[in-house]
């Protein structure tokens, strides 16, 4: 097992390298650069082509692409992620802050989604085709049949504007620095996030439990007179969890950067919005660093999933 | 363990018989059929042109003339919902199909053959998963421009990693089970072992996966238009019709513009899910055994 | 000698002045004796909003910058003219190459230090340092590029700007490299920095925290920075030393919404903020409960053609005329854009400047068809793709362009499509030498700024050629030059009128419409003033009089 993990960690290095090269290439291929972003197409207030050229020169955008990539890589290896081209801030600080924000909302959201998703999934599996099964299925599908942005607007409109239970977006009330205030701001977006993802966990759990409950060893255990609760929890649940664990792993990058529309409508400064803004402004130091962080997360999640497979099901051998 | 060959009927026939007994799945299939027919033969169910604007009838609530009201350009919402379904269903089903096929093929290669094949495939999966799709979408958009086929390929081409990992996980579990070993000892080819004996066990998680892939594709299409890549307006899609609710006035005062496509999307996704439920039961290898 | 400042311009079209606020707008009028209170706003939510809180290098955000710094001159409250702000008076020599400005008496920085002409000169030298680190030199160029010695200084060939001379503590003299009869109109974004407090080098302009750090920041506007929470908000505190008197508010909070108007509007309705920019479609549902501020945006939306594409049917003026005749712009502005847009005869947005004899292109599909026939162009062979940038990707413009598509198909132009792309793509792919056909976008045309000429002259970032697109026509260069050379606002307005007439006649690009923009404020705010200005102005909003009940 340890050898396997070490090997996977070593294999992560070429994967990360590939990811950064590909992302860099994609930014290169996308039309325009950050200087094109600076030149406001509306106001035309006196920036000449010469100004733009000088700016490109100063930002090092005129160097050949491989030189710029190696320069970036050299910096990263020394722990220097560079400076955001549009946000006047070191990328390291920026990412740390935004990532921290995302983790708060994601942490709550994922926890709620996984807990409720798995519980409801088991519940509906044990009561397949009951009224409860249909009601829960129906409700969970409302969450995934609506664009996140619309779900966010509806939530804000109902709970902030109409009922006044929660603040309408933002992360803190200006000037207030208390944990209570922070949580008050986090709950609504985190709940919307969890509703969007809950259906996924619920359905996978349900399907996979149904599958497992019919396996011989579960049937045998039940036949031997073991209490149903113990059978479910001890035997079925462990094995039924495998596809769910895969989906949790897959959800993490989506939760980190896929929440862009939700962050937008909740004016929440997280990673999704940062990544989106950086892409549309070609702020490549931020895109590259953010991608690196996301890639590390994905690799870690996949590794944990694979190890979890082996832990849950002894028949799987890690090679 | 016994094989499906023992039964007289072919597995497909058995599955269909079992599926028919599944009342909810049958209802869902029927509703899905109605939606498909409504959309495919939209001109028979509406006298309006989905693109024909009418300045005299802008933002009208539902009425006898316009069953579901009109949009900001005076176009009939009922008509646009039906025509929008054509595009959205094609995108949803095609993208889900594409990602499922890629996912199954790679997942099987990875899980069944293991060793270096597994290593290579899983590292490719890692790389693809590590890309937030937006950057790929943006670059592709810049080179190819907007269009239905691009949307399908982008959504389908990026959604396969969870499928591949799911399939791989299931195959890993099955690979060393007795019946697979037995099949191998009998000299059955890998292709037969995989398609006949292993894939039926993978159906359960896949069905859930396909359901989500369909809804995700329908919704993602609308999001893509923000990057200049979605299906270009004025072609209606359920996704871009729902996005109209970004406008607060439409969201709360003119809900007839966005609720119909939302209901159609929800119904479609629900039906696919219930049909999936039925399929899962119908293809359940354990239950097939019980039936012999 | 020139007059102190120009006469009042005409009344802005579509302006709905709020009676209650209009009273307090006269410059220098002290606010009511309501002290205290905090106002939370989304001031820079309009197009191009800015969250960097850094003047001199932002594409927008002047509504915020002017809260912290004063400028020599400023737009008045309705953007009709440029009026003195930090300066008391100005004078120029007869050929308008030497300008002398006198600062008001008794100006103080927020830390109590007197503001002098040396601070002004220091700022000029700082911004023209060859290694100045700003990444948007637009405001720098606007403020200083006509000063003698600018090129030498920025290129590092001279140690100081030849054209700037401090006469005494309150007097500064500008020598220009070319005559400018309205040089004072180049100074409305000249945020003077305090020489004694600036502790960073020009090269570090974009990386310094100075502008956000309450312990280092020294300003001159009605407010100073008190807390900056990146991505979230900036809290400004009253500046006791502001020359028009201490603000009535203790605190002005500017909350950031990442440019999303729906998010800001929801926050307004949930009572989390007191003011935000709103889109035209929101106005009907807000009118009853909020004070609506509205004015002409000054941003003309039009469609440009790429004449660099040689075998283009559009080089025939009859084809361009046909397209305008085919589109019922009045119906679109009235019905689809909710009456908040107005169709225009030329890219000058102000109705009082349109000459009576200007050629207009009303809705006339028959005429459109016959023009195409005269030109020998088969409408079926015309292919058009209008490309706009993400700033227009909203319900209103999407609807308007779908309507354009329907109108064009009525005269047989069926191959029409449009799309919105992000700004770098727009700039890079749709620059003059790009392989594009039509651009759909806006230009900010302030009433009395010096930007107008850039649109159709060689300046500006869009490239060279009379229009930037290799369109050539007699008289355009002259018409643009006449605008730049106009000595008084009357001459200037007349020159704009001549330009309008010529543009309508030659039709180098298709003027579509110009919109009003709107802000919604909670009625509990007193003396509040906001109005849409290209990039946020700055304009005189008398923020020191704002108060909350």
Region of C164 on the Ramachandran plot (φ > 0 left; ψ -120 to 50 alpha; else beta): beta
Residue A278 domain-assigned?
yes
Task: Output B285 or C350, whichever has higher pLDDT.
Answer: C350
Class of domain B87-174+204-291: mainly alpha
Contact (CB<8Å) A264/C260: yes
CB neighbourhood size of B266 (10 A) = 19
Total domains in chain A come to 2
Contact (CB<8Å) A52/C461: yes
**Which chain A positions have a beta carbon within 8 Å of B164's beta carbon?**
none
Which residues 8-67 of B are in CB contact (within 8 Å) with A?
24
For residue B194, what pLDDT band results from cuts at 50, 70 and 90? confident
Contact (CB<8Å) B169/A309: yes
Contact (CB<8Å) A267/C255: yes
C-beta separation of C515 from C340 below 8 A: yes
Q: Does B223 touch chain C (CB under 8 A)?
A: no
| pLDDT at A97 > cutoff 80 | yes
For residue C467, what pLDDT band results from cuts at 50, 70 and 90? very low
**Domain ranges for chain B:** 87-174+204-291
For residue A318, what pLDDT band results from cuts at 50, 70 and 90? low
A33 and A159 assigned to the same domain = no
Q: Strand, coil or helix: what is C275?
A: strand
Q: Which of C268, C278, C289, C336 to probe by mutation at the B interface, max B CB count within 10 Å?
A: C336
Q: Does B65 touch chain C (CB under 8 A)?
A: no
Task: Give the model's pLDDT for residue B1.
Answer: 43
Where does residue C36 rank: exposed (0-12), middle (13-18), buried (19+ CB within 10 A)?
exposed
Q: What is the mean pLDDT of residues C356-377?
A: 91
A59 and A177 assigned to the same domain = no
A69 and A107 assigned to the same domain = no
CB neighbourhood size of B115 (10 A) = 9
For residue B290, what pLDDT band results from cuts at 50, 70 and 90? very low
Q: What is the mean pLDDT of residues C503-529?
A: 87
A127 and A227 assigned to the same domain = yes
Contact (CB<8Å) B228/C422: yes
Contact (CB<8Å) C403/B146: no
Helix, strand, coil abundance in chain B, percent, nearest 5:
75, 0, 20
Task: Give the model's pLDDT for residue A67.
Answer: 92
**Which chain C positions have a beta carbon within 8 Å of A34's beta carbon?**
424
Q: Which residue has the tokens 């019905």?
A: C335
Could you give phi then psi for residue B171, rounded to 5 degrees? Answer: -60, -40
- The per-residue pLDDT of chain A, averaged, comes to 83
**Cis bond upstream, residue C538 (ω within 30):** yes
**Which chains pack against C, by 3+ Cβ pairs within 8 A?**
A, B
- Tens of pLDDT, residue by residue over A186-227, are 999 999 988 888 888 888 888 778 777 777 666 777 777 777
The alpha carbon of residue B217 is apart from the nearest alpha carbon of chain A, in Å, by 10
**Which chain B positions have a beta carbon within 8 Å of A9's beta carbon?**
none
A64 and A199 assigned to the same domain = no
- End-to-end, the C-alpha distance of chain C in Å comes to 47
A113 and A70 assigned to the same domain = no
A291 and A222 assigned to the same domain = yes
Task: Give the model's pLDDT for residue A31.
Answer: 84
Task: Give the model's pLDDT for residue C16.
Answer: 34
- Tens of pLDDT, residue by residue over C71-100, are 999 988 878 788 999 999 999 999 889 999
| HEC per residue, C349-416 | CCHHHCCCCCCCCCCCHHHHHHHHHHHCCCHHHCEEEEEEEHHHCCHHHHHHHHHHHHHHHHCCCCEE
- Tens of pLDDT, residue by residue over A25-66, are 988 888 888 888 887 666 545 677 778 888 888 888 888 999
If you measure CA to CA, which chain A residue comes closest to C257?
A267
CATH number for the domain spanning A102: value is: 1.10.3720.10
Residue A9 domain-assigned?
no
Of B132, B139, B204, the CB nearest to A253: B132
Contact (CB<8Å) C406/B55: no
Range of the domain at A297: 95-312
A99 and A230 assigned to the same domain = yes
């Amino acid at each position: 097992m340890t050898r396997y993990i070490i090997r996977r960690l070593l294999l992560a290095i070429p994967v990360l390298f590939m990811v950064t090269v590909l992302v860099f290439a994609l930014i290169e291929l996308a039309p325009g650069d950050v200087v094109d972003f600076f030149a406001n197409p509306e106001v035309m207030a006196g920036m000449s082509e010469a100004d733009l050229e000088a700016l490109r020169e100063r930002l090092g955008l005129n160097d050949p692409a491989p030189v710029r990539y190696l320069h970036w890589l050299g910096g990263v290896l020394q722990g220097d992620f560079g400076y955001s081209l549009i946000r006047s801030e070191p990328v390291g600080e920026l990412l740390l802050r935004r990532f921290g924000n995302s983790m708060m909302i994601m942490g709550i959201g994922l926890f709620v989604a996984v807990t409720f998703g798995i519980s409801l999934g088991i519940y509906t599996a044990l009561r397949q085709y009951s009224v409860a099964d249909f009601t829960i299925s129906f409700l969970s599908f409302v969450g995934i049949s609506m664009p996140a942005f619309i779900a966010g607007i509806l939530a804000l409109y109902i709970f902030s504007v109409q009922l006044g239970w929660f603040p309408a977006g933002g992360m803190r009330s200006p000037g207030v620095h208390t944990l209570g205030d922070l949580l008050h701001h986090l709950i609504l977006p985190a709940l919307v996030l969890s509703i969007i993802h809950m259906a996924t966990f619920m359905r996978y759990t349900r399907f996979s439990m149904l599958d497992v409950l019919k396996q011989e060893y579960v049937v045998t255990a039940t036949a031997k007179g073991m209490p149903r609760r113990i059978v479910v929890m001890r035997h079925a649940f462990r094995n039924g969890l495998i596809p769910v664990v895969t989906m949790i792993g897959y959800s993490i990058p989506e939760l980190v950067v896929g929440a862009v529309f939700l962050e937008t409508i909740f004016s929440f400064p997280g990673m999704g919005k940062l990544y989106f803004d950086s892409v549309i402004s070609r702020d490549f130091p931020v895109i590259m660093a953010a991608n690196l962080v996301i890639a590390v997360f994905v690799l870690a999640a996949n590794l944990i999933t694979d190890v979890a497979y082996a832990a849950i099901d002894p028949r799987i051998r890690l090679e | 363990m016994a094989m499906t060959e023992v039964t007289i009927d072919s597995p497909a026939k058995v599955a269909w018989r079992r599926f028919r007994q599944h009342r909810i799945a049958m209802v869902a299939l029927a509703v899905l059929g109605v939606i498909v027919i409504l959309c495919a033969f939209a001109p028979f169910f509406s006298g309006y042109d989905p693109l024909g604007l009418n300045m005299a009838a802008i933002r009208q609530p539902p009425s006898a003339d316009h069953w579901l009201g009109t949009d900001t350009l005076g176009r009939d919402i009922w008509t646009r919902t039906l025509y929008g379904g054509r595009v959205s269903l094609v995108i949803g089903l095609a993208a889900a199909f594409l990602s499922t096929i890629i996912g199954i093929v790679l997942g099987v290669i990875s899980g069944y053959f293991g060793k270096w094949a597994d290593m290579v495939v899983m590292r490719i999966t890692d790389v693809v998963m590590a890309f937030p799709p937006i950057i790929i979408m943006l670059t592709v958009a810049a080179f190819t421009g907007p269009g239905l086929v691009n949307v399908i390929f982008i959504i389908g081409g990026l959604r396969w990693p969870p499928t591949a990992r799911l399939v791989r996980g299931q195959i890993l579990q099955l690979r060393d089970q007795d019946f697979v070993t037995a099949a191998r000892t009998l000299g059955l080819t890998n292709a037969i072992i995989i398609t006949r004996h292993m894939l039926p066990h993978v159906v359960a998680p896949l069905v859930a996966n396909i359901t989500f892939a369909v809804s995700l594709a329908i919704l993602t299409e609308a999001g893509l238009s923000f990057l200049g890549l979605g299906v270009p307006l004025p072609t209606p899609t359920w996704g871009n019709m729902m996005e109209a609710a970004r406008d607060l006035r439409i969201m709360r005062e003119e809900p007839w513009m966005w609720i119909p496509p939302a209901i159609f999307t929800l119904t479609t996704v629900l039906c696919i899910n219930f049909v999936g439920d039925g399929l899962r039961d119908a293809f359940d290898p354990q239950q097939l055994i019980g039936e012999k | 000698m020139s007059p102190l400042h120009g006469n009042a311009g005409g009344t802005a079209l579509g302006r709905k002045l709020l009676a209650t606020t209009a009273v307090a707008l006269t410059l220098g009028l002290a606010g009511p004796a309501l002290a205290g209170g905090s106002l939370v706003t989304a001031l820079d939510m309009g197009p191009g909003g800015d969250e960097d809180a850094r003047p001199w290098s932002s594409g927008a955000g002047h509504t915020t910058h002017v809260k912290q710094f004063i400028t020599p001159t400023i737009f008045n409250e309705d953007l009709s003219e440029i009026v003195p702000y930090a300066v008391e008076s100005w004078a120029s020599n007869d050929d308008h190459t030497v300008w002398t400005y006198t600062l008001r008496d008794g100006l103080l920085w927020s830390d109590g230090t007197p503001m002098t002409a040396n601070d002004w000169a220091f700022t000029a030298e700082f911004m023209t340092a060859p290694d100045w680190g700003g990444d948007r030199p637009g405001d720098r160029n606007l403020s200083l590029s006509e000063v003698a010695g600018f090129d030498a200084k920025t290129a590092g060939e001279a140690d100081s700007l030849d054209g700037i001379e401090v006469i005494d503590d309150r007097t500064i003299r500008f020598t220009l490299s070319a005559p400018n009869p309205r040089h004072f109109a180049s100074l409305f974004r000249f945020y003077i920095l305090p020489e004694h407090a600036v502790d960073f080098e020009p090269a570090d302009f974009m990386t310094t925290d100075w502008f956000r750090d309450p312990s280092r920041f020294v300003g001159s506007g009605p407010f100073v920075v008190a807390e900056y929470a990146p991505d979230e908000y900036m809290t400004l505190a009253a500046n006791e030393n502001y020359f028009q008197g201490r603000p009535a508010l203790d605190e002005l909070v500017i909350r950031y919404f990442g440019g999303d108007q729906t998010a800001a509007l929801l926050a307004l309705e949930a009572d989390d903020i007191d003011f935000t920019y709103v889109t035209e479609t929101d106005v009907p549902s807000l009118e009853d409960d909020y004070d609506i501020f509205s004015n002409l945006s000054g941003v003309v939306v039009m469609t440009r053609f790429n004449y660099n594409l040689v075998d283009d049917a559009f080089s025939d003026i009859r084809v361009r005329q046909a397209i305008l005749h085919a589109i019922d712009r009045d119906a679109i502005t009235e019905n689809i854009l909710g009456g908040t847009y107005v169709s225009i005869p030329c890219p000058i947005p102000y109705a009082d400047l349109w000459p009576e004899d200007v050629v207009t292109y009303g809705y006339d599909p028959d005429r459109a068809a016959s023009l195409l026939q005269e030109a020998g162009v088969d409408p079926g062979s015309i292919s058009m793709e209008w490309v706009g940038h993400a700033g227009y990707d909203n319900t209103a413009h999407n609807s308007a362009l779908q309507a354009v598509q329907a109108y064009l198909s009525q005269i047989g132009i069926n191959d029409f499509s449009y799309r919105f792309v992000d700004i770098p793509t727009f700039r890079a792919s749709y620059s003059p030498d790009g392989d594009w056909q039509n651009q759909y976008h806006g230009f900010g045309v302030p009433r009395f700024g010096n930007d107008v000429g850039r649109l159709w002259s060689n300046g500006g970032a869009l490239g060279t050629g009379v229009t930037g697109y290799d369109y050539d026509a007699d008289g355009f260069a002259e018409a643009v030059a006449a605008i730049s050379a106009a000595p008084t606002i009357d001459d200037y307005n007349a020159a704009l009128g001549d330009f309008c007439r010529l543009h309508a006649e030659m039709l180098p690009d298709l003027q579509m419409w110009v919109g009003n923009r709107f802000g919604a404020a909670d009625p509990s705010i007193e003396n509040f003033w906001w109005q849409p200005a290209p990039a946020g102005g700055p304009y005189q909003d008398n923020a020191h009089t704002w108060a909350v009940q």
